Amino acid sequence: MPHKYTGTNRPAGWMGLHRGHKARPLEWLAEKFILLVSLSATVIIFLIFLFVTREALPIILGRMDSSAVKNVRPLEDFDKMTPQEIQAYLHLKPAEYARMDREALLEMMKVRLEAKEEIPDDKDARVNTTAWRYLLLPYQWSDYDRPEYIWQPISQIPKYNLIPLIIGSLKASVVALLFAVPLALGAAIYVSQLASPRLKEWLKPGIELLAGIPSVVLGFFALIVMASFLQHIFGYESRLNAFVAGIALGLAIIPVVFSIAEDALTSVPRSFTEGALALGSTKWQAAWHIVLPAAVPGVFAAVVLGFGRAIGETMIVLMASGNASIVSWSLLDSTRTMTATIAAEMAETVVGGHHYRMLFLIGALLFLVTFIGNMVADWFIHRLKKRLEGRA
Amino acid sequence: MKYALFGIGLAAGLLTLAPEAQAGKVTVKGSDTMVILAQKWAEVYMSKNPGTRIQVTGGGSGIGLAALQNQTTDLANSSRKIRGKEIEACLRNFGRRPTEYKVALDGIMIFVHESNPIKELSLEQLQRIFTGKVRNWKELGGPDARINLYSRENSSGTYEFFKEHVLLGRDFAASAQTMPGTAAVVAAVAKDRFAIGYGGAGYGAGVKHLAIKKDENSPAIEPNEETVVNGTYPIWRFLYIYVNPAIDKGEVAAYIRWIRSDEGQKVVKDIGFFPLPEKMRGE
């Protein structure tokens, strides 16, 4: 590699002057523009994360109150209350209060009273179900025989325990990985090490094309065909379950895992294999004992990215998992994932309400999980590169 | 039907762009259960009143009621009663409680697989089944097999109606699978020998409808028009239209009046729901 200017001996310059040729303002402009464009992608993602987190913030900080029973005042009190009291009681902004006439205000007080009558006044009704304690720990609600993890957001007492959803997401993703990783990895080893160049030319784009299948089509296929087929073979009870959803998810992540693993295997220098072959090993031995160990960080990264895809996928699990929020580690029970919950429930939530903010909290959690997953994967790919260049 | 719906939506959409079509445009939004009905009403009404354009979209009861709160729709279809929170938002946004019109009756059917020997259940048994207290068909006199529950997703008006009137406010068993529509529930039950599900009257080919007893001692009632309209079938509900009283005049009022007239109620019957008894139309 010819020596270029490095950080220490680079002369100060402006608009390309330091590169040792004539100033080209247009090039400089283009360079800055591209920099801006590439930065903006990062900025947009950061802003999305900020938005999601901001919407979930009242719950994260425990400032949201979802307790069903609030103090009510009889209608006769209306004439005794000052405008400030009425505003505070009905949670009205001054502008809203100014717009409403006496009749509307009275009507609103009436609605409060009606709402109070519908809710049974027991211990549950006073509980703020959006507090972290109720989001993560089991709790014995009235009507239940023992403490349980319950996700029942549409209820007189909304119950927002996240554990069933987290377990559901993990179950489906783990099945997807168990199914997809051996297949994708096998294909990657074959394509990168053993296949003839002509076959490789067909196989690689073929598998990668699978990534283009819309997930709704895979979900539909799983719902109508695969679910019945698998139930017929294995004879389990719930037709739609974590197993079916996981297999369909697996089909969706095979191309991702394959593509990255194949890249990792191919980027192992040719000299490694040639050396092994020259020493008399077979092609298979070279692939298994030399290339694969060298590429392990890259392969691991492929698996982690596949996991990120699986846990974030929505349409397939929405259609094929049965969406029952059960706490059970059995793969043959129906399961409800975090993503499917957001998709199914977002449409009817009241903007700013506690259910709405809960769904954003789930969104923020998903973002965090996939973000950390990608970081870990990236770090491993980096390590692979260093290792192959002999710098580790 | 879908195409007709699409066509009307498209036509209405195009007409809103045309300035001369300002007069007599009514937008309708809401319940998915009612969307076929609403679209048929619009079709028949428009053929008789060429000056009027009615634009119908579904989305779910909550979507329609949300649009009503935001004043982005004239009529909101709902398969459940409006909630206190929603009335509050309406009062906040336009100072009035929306007017409620009952426009049709619907019976909630209980579906089981055709091979299931069970023919009738009481409301209490249903409650125990769907809250997960009864888990085996054996306890109800059926085969020794686990009961597989099929429910609607919790944004559905039918889900809320069932929860309120059959489960009496209790939670659905966590093991209940949620399906994205009554048709999906029916399809799932038709494929599952040990399934039980519920849904509106307009659906149900390929599954068995159970007769329902109010309590242990009362007779089991088959769901049909007569038993739903006279109120002997225990799980029936109203279908509603909500409207901002400020715009309940002229074209909008005429349309609602027509829906509740004999002509409008005949459409209800054609679609598979049940017409409103005469005495309720004035309410």
pLDDT per residue as tens digits for the range B40-55: 999 999 999 988 999 9
What does the alpha-carbon distance between residue A285 and residue A275 come to, in Å, rounded to a whole number? 12
CA A98, chain centre distance (Å): 44
Q: How far apart are the first and last CA of chain B?
A: 31
Closest-CA distance of chain B to residue A174, Å = 21
pLDDT in tens, A127-152: 888 899 999 999 998 878 889 999 99
Residue A119 forms contact with B (CB below 8 Å):
no
Interface contact flag, B154 A96, Cβ < 8 Å = no
Q: Do B84 and A344 touch (CB under 8 A)?
A: no
The rounded mean pLDDT for chain A is: 87
Instruction: Return the residue of A nearest to B86 by Cα.
Output: A350
Query: What pLDDT does A13 receive?
Result: 53
pLDDT exceeds cutoff 50 at B114: yes
Which stretches of chain A are DSSP H helices? 25-60, 83-90, 94-99, 102-118, 132-136, 163-189, 197-209, 215-221, 227-234, 242-266, 270-278, 283-285, 292-312, 315-320, 338-345, 354-388
Residues comprising chain B, all counted: 283
| Alpha-carbon gap, residue A191 to B155, rounded angstroms | 47
Query: How large is the average pLDDT for residues A180-191?
Result: 95
Of A164, A228, A238, the CB nearest to B174: A164
Q: Which residues of A touch B183 (CB under 8 A)?
A: none
Q: Is B176 on the interface with A (CB under 8 A)?
A: yes
Q: Could you say which DSSP state residue A322 is in?
A: B
Q: Which residue(s) pair with B75 in the sheet?
A: B28, B243
Residues 6+ apart with CB under 8 A from B211: B119, B120, B220, B221, B222, B223
Nearest Cα residue in chain A from B151: A324
Please give the distance of CA B163 from its chain centroid, rounded to a whole number.
14
Opening angle at CA B150, ends B149 and B154, nearest 5: 120
Q: Per-residue pLDDT for A126 more than 60?
A: yes
Please tell me if residue A150 touches chain B, with a CB cutoff of 8 Å.
yes
pLDDT tens string B167-184 = 988 899 999 998 877 888
- Phi then psi for B108, rounded to 5 degrees? -85, 120
The SS3 call for residue B150 is: strand
Q: What's the average model confidence in pLDDT over A376-381?
A: 88
Pick from A133, A94, A325: which is nearest to B154 by CA?
A325
Residues constituting chain A: 392
Kindly report, residue by residue over A75-92, the tens digit of the pLDDT: 888 888 888 888 888 878
CB nearest A326 (choices: B84, B148, B175): B175
| Distance, CA of B254 to CA of B260 (rounded, Å) | 10
Find chain A residues with C-beta within 8 A of B59's C-beta.
347
Nearest by Cα to A170 from A302, A297, A312: A312
Decide if A100 and B96 are in contact by the 8 Å CB cutoff: no
Chain B CB within 8 Å of residue A324 CB: yes
Task: Decide if pLDDT at A316 tops 50.
Answer: yes
Alpha-carbon gap: B98 to the closest alpha carbon of chain A (Å) = 11
Residue A238 is which amino acid? S
Alpha helices in B147-261 (DSSP H): 157-165, 182-191, 225-229, 250-259
Q: Which residue has the higher pLDDT, B32 or A255?
A: A255
Task: State the pLDDT at residue A4.
Answer: 52
Measured CA to CA, the distance from residue A185 to residue A195 in angstroms comes to: 14
Per the CB < 8 Å rule, is A325 touching B174?
yes
Q: Is beta strand B53-59 parallel, antiparallel or unpaired with respect to B25-30? A: parallel
The confidence score (pLDDT) of residue A149 equals 93
Rounded distance between C-alpha atoms, residue A162 and residue B217, angstroms: 42
Helix intervals (H) in A222-267: 227-234, 242-266
Contact of A151 with A325, CB cutoff 8 Å: yes
Per DSSP, what are the bridge partners of residue A139?
A148
- pLDDT of amino acid A15: 53
Q: Output the CA angle A358-A362-A363, nearest 5 degrees.
A: 115
Report the residue from B60, B91, B192 with minimal CB separation from A348. B60
- Smallest Cβ–Cβ distance between A100 and the set B95, B149, B159 belongs to B95
* Best CA proximity match to B77, nearest among B185, B181, B157: B157
- Which of B217, B219, B213, B221 has its CA nearest to residue B123? B213
Please check whether residue A130 is in contact with residue A65, taking contact to mean a CB–CB distance below 8 angstroms.
Answer: yes
* Closest Cα in chain A to B30: A348
SS3 A161: coil
Q: How close does chain A come to B46, measured CA to CA in Å?
A: 30
Start-to-end CA distance of chain A, whole Å, equals 20
- Chain mean pLDDT for chain B: 86
**Count of CB contacts below 8 A, A vs B?**
107
DSSP reduced 3-state for B3: helix
Q: Residues 211-250, chain A: which have Cβ within 8 Å of B? A: 228, 237-240
CB contact under 8 A, A112 and B159: no
Written as one letter, the residue type at A115 is A
- Using DSSP's 3-state secondary structure scheme, residue B75 falls into strand
For B19-38, the pLDDT digits (tens) are 333 457 899 998 888 888 99
Which positions in chain B touch A324 (Cβ < 8 Å)?
149, 174-178
Residue with the two structure tokens 């990657």: A188
- pLDDT at residue B95, as a whole number: 85
Handedness of CA B4, B5, B7, B8 (dihedral sign): positive
The residue of chain B nearest to residue A341, with distances taken between CA atoms, is: B153
ipTM: 0.76
Nearest to B148 among A238, A319, A325 (CB): A238
Neighbours of A269 (CB within 10 A): 13
Its pTM stands at 0.81
pLDDT for position A364: 94
How many other CB atoms sit within 10 Å of the CB of residue B230? 10
Angle between helices A354-388 and A292-312 (to 10 degrees): 170
Quote the CA–CA distance of A181 and A307 in Å, as a whole number. 10
Check residue A79 and give its pLDDT: 83
Task: Give pLDDT, residue A118.
Answer: 74
Tell me if A135 sits within 8 A of A116, measured CB to CB: no
**Tens-place pLDDT, residues A209-222:** 888 999 999 999 99
Reduced to 3 states, what is the DSSP secondary structure of residue B25? Answer: strand
All residues of chain A having their beta carbon less than 8 Å from the beta carbon of residue B169 are: 120, 155-156
Chain A residues close to B172, C-beta within 8 Å: 152
Work out the minimum CA distance from A232 to partner chain B, whole angstroms: 11
Distance CA B257, CA B51 (A): 17
- B153 and A326 in contact by Cβ < 8 A? no
